[in-house]
Structure 1
Amino acid sequence: MSDRKVVVITGASSGIGQATARLLAQHGFEVFGGARDANRAPAIPGVRFGTVDVTDETSVYSFVEWVLSEAGKIDVLVNNAGISLVGPVENTSTSEAQLVFDTNLFGPLRMIRAVLPSMRAARSGLIINISSVLGFLPAPFMGIYASSKHALEGLSESLDHEIREYNVRVVLIEPTFTHTKLDVNAKQTELPLGVYASQASATIKTVEAQIKSAPSPSVVAEQILAAVNGPYRMRQPAGRQATLLSRLRRFMPASAVDSSLRKTFGFGKQR
């Protein structure tokens, strides 16, 4: 068994996952990247890819068993795989919402359940869940995505209390919009926007403009590295804007936060 820390990262073939895999490998970690199709994953020095679909229980357990057979342990799990959805809540079908939750909430749950027994046995481990500022803030026309991240935050805080006595902790990384395929190519609800067309279109254009100037995935990767190497903190915003939003949410009056959010998402003055 290697003395190096073993890190497992889901959704490692692109975006935040790929940037994190590359950075951690450069810093001497033994990295195992999970991808839906490992054969199409990029070659990254020091990173070994395996196939995992976080929405499939059998795939998750097979992937984790492979890592344990190769490395003998898992020190850090980074639950990064996720999907987004844009559209009015009223227009969102149950099946569309279930798909988002199956990936963004139940995906991490499946990975956690598969990895925890080995971490508890070793009495050592760190679970890093990639949340979002939308895990503590509302997001008009991204309500299902935001609610999946709110749920992930609740799961993470609760789990941390349950497993702390085994020297296993949970961290939430909270990026703002990031220039990745997840944000750039977010899927839209199938039903026409209807009565929401004007405002939803304005909001989507505002968000797209923000994404164009958003930080690169490397900013989030650096925060993940800091979480692995640094002192423990449950919630860790990634980047200056995310840190500012976290502080505003905590210390600003609710009415001021509400007005600021409406402006950010392209809404006019409230009637």
Structure 2
Amino acid sequence: MSNKRARVAIVTGASTGIGRAVAKALKDNGFWVFGTSRRAAPEQIDGIAMLTCDVTDDASVAKLIEAVLTEAGRIDVLVNNAGVGLLGGAEESSIGQAQSLFNVNLFGVIRMTNAVLPFMRRQHTGRIVNVSSVLGLIPGPYSALYASTKHALEGYSESLDHEVRAFGIRVVLVEPAYTATSFEENLTVPDQSLDVYALARAGMVALMRQVMLKADTPEAVAETVVKAVTAGSPKHRYAAGKVARQVSFLRRFVPEGAFDKSLRKQMQLPV
């Protein structure tokens, strides 16, 4: 429902998983929330107004922003959550497939951000939360291209934060680890699979299924996003969930060699 006095938030990729949980959590905290999905969705999900938007398409993004401003008159928060995964050896993906991945996970964020920044500058206030991953902090064997999108997102977000802070705008990162959603089940597969990687790739799939049994809930990530949105003086990044906090701590303080060996052991790779 509309509330002309409420802060207005846009959450991309809000039809399922983390995005849906984030949209609901923001609504429960008094925000007027607009969720987006690439495919047509019901007009309302859990009381969230749903709009169609393809973050890889400039015209679609512009249409979304126009619709939100027409209805609400302002945009206070943007949560860039829409993303896709890819599991396989880096060598197994064509340049075209890599470009498609970046077009959603990085350039989609840039499109959405560039679309809202002029209005946030005019308001002299705004908060942009980019949903990254612990794979924005650490290596991701057999997720190298996905990890690359998140490493790039981290550099973009922290740098942009310094550029727009003078306009009353902050850009922050939320970094989940494994989360119990359909994301892992819908991972893209390499478009030029190689037999030499087949055994290791199958091992990664099995390992992912195993760790997903103890994965964080989307609601736990959503709670972290709400903190990032509402903090008066936000941090650059927020680890979302117990595993993400542990990984973030270890990455900062464990010596490189020891971290490398531990990672390979955890990923069941030859040490």
TM-score between both structures, scaled by the size of structure 1: 0.96
Separation in 2, partners of 1:66, 1:150: 32
Separation in 1, partners of 2:165, 2:107: 21
Q: Please point out which of 248, 251, 264 is paired with 2:250.
A: 248
Deviations 1:180-226 (A, max 9, x none): 11122211102233112222221221122112321111111000011
Structure 1 unmatched runs, 5+: none
Separation in 2, partners of 1:66, 1:81: 19
Separation in 2, partners of 1:42, 1:29: 15
Q: Please point out which of 14, 23, 26 is paired with 2:25.
A: 23
More displaced, 185-194 or 86-95?
A: 185-194
CA RMSD of aligned residues (A): 1.3
More displaced, 100-109 or 188-197?
A: 188-197
The answer to whether the 8 Å contact 1:87/1:193 transfers is no
Separation in 2, partners of 1:76, 1:179: 25
Deviations 1:227-262 (A, max 9, x none): 112241011000111011001000000011111111
Separation in 1, partners of 2:204, 2:49: 40
Structure 2 counterpart of 1:139: 140
Count of aligned pairs between the two proteins? 268
Structure 2 counterpart of 1:216: 217
Structure 2 counterpart of 1:235: 237
Structure 2 counterpart of 1:112: 113
The answer to whether the 8 Å contact 1:88/1:196 transfers is yes
Separation in 2, partners of 1:128, 1:192: 35
**Residues 84-163 of structure 1: matches in 2 within 5 Å?**
84-163=85-164
SS in 2 for 1:181: coil
Separation in 2, partners of 1:171, 1:7: 15
> 1:171 Cα deviation (Å)?
0.5
TM-score between both structures, scaled by the size of structure 2: 0.96
2:189 is the alignment partner of 1:192: no
Separation in 2, partners of 1:41, 1:225: 23
- CA 1:165–1:214 in structure 2 vs 1: closer, same or farther (change >3 Å)? same
2:172 is the alignment partner of 1:176: no
Structure 2 unmatched runs, 5+: none
Give the residue type in structure 2 aligned to 1:255: G
Separation in 2, partners of 1:36, 1:242: 28
